[in-house]
Structures are given as structure tokens and as C-alpha cells.
Amino acid sequence: MFLGYKLIQHTADVGIVAQGASMGDAFGFAASGLFSLITDTSTLKQDKIISLEFISDSYENLLVKWLNELIYIFDTQILVFGRFEVAVNSAFKLTAICFGQKVNADTPLHHYVKAATYHLLKVKKITGGYKLQVLLDI
């Protein structure tokens, strides 16, 4: 089992497959995949820190809500993130600390991501952890 994320192509969209030892790790890797589409996350200063908390009625809805909130923060606050500390519990509650920076003239921007979608959305337990799949509308 790999730990991390990989990008997958799907017609006009881009997908993320993320795997982690815990559900929180997998959600963090999904967020890392999202921001890897937007910018080069390896060069981010990580001088801006925000905390987020969500409750939903399923892991699938929680994943879409999480990624769409990160897209909203990018759109409204012009922040990009390169590191995430995420915890997800069995009551579908997510708490996260996101580390990143404000976009500036030196921040390379690659793709504009409109939204996380429910198309082909998967969240499942696998041997050694959890696997997520989500498609992003770009």
C-alpha cells in the first residue's frame, strides 16, 4: 500500500486517489493533492496557519465539504497550503490545522480548481489504512 496521493485523469476533470494509515492522514493527502494542482507546494513558506472543524453525516460528504472549504479559502483569502494535520473520527467530525502562505507574485499558479464533486467519489477501509477517491472540476 502506498501512502500519499496520486492524480488521475478523467475526461475534463482531475481525480485524486489518496491513501493513509488513518482516515485523517488520507484526508490530509487528498488536500495535498488538491493544492499540488494549484501550485508548487514544496516551496511554500507555511507562515499562515488556520484551523478548521466540520461535522457531516458520512465520510464521503465530509471529504467533499473539506476540499470545497479549502477551495473557498483559496478563492476568498488567496491562501495556499502545503501541510495538513487532520483528524477524522467515527462520528464524521474533522478537525484540521492547515499550514501555508498568502499567494504573492512569486507563487506559481497552475490550475484553477472549481470544486470537489460527488462523481466517482469513494471512501473505503483497506488493509493498513484508508483509500479515498475524489474528482475535481477544473
Q: What domain count does the chain have?
A: 1
Give the C-alpha distances (Å, rounded to integers) separating 56 from 59, 60, 70, 95.
7, 9, 16, 12
In what helix (H) or strand (E) does residue 100 lie, and over which residues does it extend? strand 93-102
Please say whether the beta carbons of 2 and 115 come within 8 A: no
pLDDT at 33: 97
Q: Could you report the per-residue pLDDT of 15-58, keeping only the tens digit for each?
A: 999 999 999 999 999 999 999 999 999 989 999 999 999 999 99
pLDDT at 12: 73
Distance, in Å, from the CA atom of 61 to the CA atom of 118, rounded to the nearest integer, reads 8
Q: Give start and end residues of each alpha helix (H) in the chain.
A: 23-38, 59-77
pLDDT at 101: 97
- How many residues make up the chain in this entry? 138
Q: How far is CA 9 from the centre of its chain?
A: 17
pLDDT at 113: 96
Q: Could you report the per-residue pLDDT of 45-99, keeping only the tens digit for each?
A: 999 999 999 999 999 999 999 999 999 999 999 999 999 999 999 999 999 999 9
Instruction: Write out the residue range of the structural domain in which residue 9 sits.
Output: 4-137
Query: Which CATH number characterizes residue 70's domain?
Result: 3.55.10.10
pLDDT at 137: 94
pLDDT at 1: 65
pLDDT at 9: 82
pLDDT at 14: 94
Backbone angles phi, psi at 53, to 5 degrees: -145, 135
Average pLDDT over residues 116-121: 95
Q: SS3 of 42, please?
A: helix
Give the C-alpha distances (Å, rounded to integers) separating 100 from 27, 38, 50, 81.
17, 13, 9, 4
